[in-house]
Structure 1
């Protein structure tokens, strides 16, 4: 076991001192933050740009629907023909002209409304204009039919079915969305971590094998210790890199916001006008409050502990497969035939988590796959926010650990033989023979 500690230390220091590792650790967050900053800055410029839209309403009944906002100003045109309006708007370099013809039938009003502009208009802006017109025209039609709009508004009943467990725990529809987001992020993070750092372990084994350094190391170290040392050492290097990314990224975002005044929220504010309209709706405000309550209802402590355990267990399990593949081949090209069977359970787990957990987190499919070790790290992490009994989590983790120990045992057999094999691409049949040795 003393050798194992030395191997872990060697692998960790070799990785973190590698020039490419250092460069990517520093450059990756800088490049990512720079891209986000550019998008945020450009979006901020775009959103701060004031657009002027002229309205030519020949019907005379819809012009009151348009109220200026921070980014859109409406210019009402009166006593002007359509052609003159086009010329004036084009001359003044305004954003566009909304023409509303004189209509007789409200149901066919769409045939009398057109938007003229030099370039294709924003989809968000067009949606906002259509929303304004639809609301006004609906009210006009109801008035024409002799319906009292105020009575309709007063008679409107909003139904929001309350959800509560038998023990009195209150939930809502938005709870499922929040739980799926947390579970999905945890599962996806594990998925990406396995692919990125599993490949790093595999390449490390291939490099040492092709350079013949492994022949010297294997003479004094047991193959299983060498394989575990590579897995754990590379994992620690990956965690170190991940922590540095988070810290460096947070610092860079703070500095950019303070020094250059870049508002990163602007990168997602393309639908600001529609969002502002939605926020005025009491139902939307209620949904936001429900989302906040849903977050506080999450089993945070259980999520953190389970995430750490299943994350480590799942990563170690798949890393042993990657190490065995690296030992069995001489170059990365030959790894393709072995990687697909390893990636398929991961991909299956993600799809099961997305398409079955949200619909029925305690159903047969979700429950069964949360116990199968190759899929449980992802599926169980997606199920836990919905409330999974502790005994199920313990059983699932125990199966995961047991499978990892078994996998390390037979992967070490492949590792022991394959690490000294050169110039031959092994088949699955040969791998089975190596396990029997």
Structure 2
């Protein structure tokens, strides 16, 4: 057995036998499922109804708001137009009502646009105020049309409702929101890679720092080369991480299935929807759902899965080399913080580029460039693949990624070789550059 395989085996066994690793492996799925079930339970609970007092001196709008009480709204409007205004304001201060909508009397319709007030102790939500404004605006518009002797019913019938259907150049009918689904699929895979890099890259760095501070590394270096030790740590930690992810997936899916079957718990926000409503929605959306399923099957599923594996391996090894070099250069995790920001920034940048650029223009210049840059390609390219990326672009991106990986490993190994036996002094960026020349 080669030296690297022995180091991989040692690193893997050390990680999986660690008590914190074992505890978090089996505790994390319980926490995730518990949080999901709790969210489902909260979403099924009916929100507290907030009482809104209305003091309408004009008498024009109060009926419009009272009709809103039949819509199972979170807000209940009360007609208190005959109650003294000062008393109502005192009631708001005493929190008897959520708020008071005060509509003064006016002879001119135009005056209502700026004189209506909402009085409350706490600032209301923007959506609530917009709904109130819409009710008042619709009523004023209707009154203005009637004063102008215009037929409001005819105007309502004359209003056009446009529903544009999507069709491909081949003649096949398409569906709306497909780009959002594609970016969601690519984003999920990209986010998984980013989390794996951050979690287990830090684990590689901590492992190097622990062995360095305990002086165990001095004994290990006497038998193996620093490069072999670094690669063994990276691969061993990756295998332990993959095992942990696999256990999480199995336990999480099993717990969700058990909760839904044996306890009748609907995990997720859909638990608040009644079965009758769900059945009606399913019957209405059958044709659309079939079209969505057809579009999903037409996605380059093989390219997505293969690309995920390739970019998962390339991205993890690339960034783990940085983490290992940082761990060798410092004596404790506190000193490592100054070197971690340049590593985290490309990952964060790739997420922003993916969600704000790829979704709007997946084949644009910015998306293509960032899908080629090795530090951002594992995430950006995975977000582009569901939109259909030419194989030559993927080939160039993968070549650059692994070419950069081998270059970074070579540079990281030089830093690792010097830094692994350096103690007591926090290195600077200039000193790290000098180490590359040794």
TM-score, normalisation: structure 1 = 0.79
State the Cα RMSD in Å. 4.1
Where in structure 2 are the equivalents of 1:151-230 lying within 5 Å?
Answer: 151-159=154-162, 163-168=166-171, 171=174, 174-230=177-233
CA distance in 2, matches of 1:345, 1:48: 42
Q: What is the DSSP-based 3-state SS (H/G/I as helix, E as strand, rest coil) of the residue aligned with 2:71?
A: coil
CA distance in 1, matches of 2:392, 2:402: 15
CA distance in 2, matches of 1:421, 1:396: 36
Q: What is the DSSP-based 3-state SS (H/G/I as helix, E as strand, rest coil) of the residue aligned with 1:24?
A: helix
Q: What is the DSSP-based 3-state SS (H/G/I as helix, E as strand, rest coil) of the residue aligned with 1:370?
A: helix
Distance 1:131 1:189, change over 3 A: farther
Distance 1:6 1:152, change over 3 A: farther
Q: What is the DSSP-based 3-state SS (H/G/I as helix, E as strand, rest coil) of the residue aligned with 2:82?
A: coil
Query: Is 1:49 the equivalent of 2:48?
Result: yes
Query: Is 1:14 the equivalent of 2:22?
Result: no
Distance 1:263 1:323, change over 3 A: closer
Aligned residues: 425
Q: What is the DSSP-based 3-state SS (H/G/I as helix, E as strand, rest coil) of the residue aligned with 2:401?
A: helix
Residue 202 of structure 1 deviates from its aligned partner by 0.5
Where in structure 2 are the equivalents of 1:244-263 lying within 5 Å?
Answer: 244-250=247-253, 259=263
Residue 323 of structure 1 deviates from its aligned partner by 0.9
Residue 306 of structure 1 deviates from its aligned partner by 1.4
Query: Is 1:232 the equivalent of 2:249?
Result: no
Write the deviation string for residues 78-114 of structure 1: whole angstroms up to 9, x where unpaired.
8824449839988995655544444433333245544
Residue 394 of structure 1 deviates from its aligned partner by 2.1
Aligned position for 1:241: 244
Distance 1:287 1:151, change over 3 A: farther
CA distance in 1, matches of 2:83, 2:111: 22
Residue 326 of structure 1 deviates from its aligned partner by 1.2
Q: What is the DSSP-based 3-state SS (H/G/I as helix, E as strand, rest coil) of the residue aligned with 2:418?
A: helix
The gaps in structure 2 that reach 5 residues or longer are none
CA distance in 2, matches of 1:138, 1:176: 38
Residue 131 of structure 1 deviates from its aligned partner by 3.4
Contact 1:202 1:325 in 2 (8 A): yes
Query: Is 1:3 the equivalent of 2:3?
Result: yes
TM-score, normalisation: structure 2 = 0.79
Distance 1:148 1:333, change over 3 A: same
The gaps in structure 1 that reach 5 residues or longer are none
Contact 1:49 1:71 in 2 (8 A): no
Residue 8 of structure 1 deviates from its aligned partner by 1.9
Distance 1:118 1:324, change over 3 A: closer
CA distance in 2, matches of 1:254, 1:114: 51
Aligned position for 2:300: 299
Where in structure 2 are the equivalents of 1:123-142 lying within 5 Å?
Answer: 124-142=127-145
Contact 1:25 1:244 in 2 (8 A): yes
Contact 1:164 1:170 in 2 (8 A): yes
CA distance in 2, matches of 1:246, 1:427: 41
Instruction: Choose which of 105, 109, 115 in structure 2 pairs with 1:106.
Output: 109
Q: What is the DSSP-based 3-state SS (H/G/I as helix, E as strand, rest coil) of the residue aligned with 2:72?
A: coil
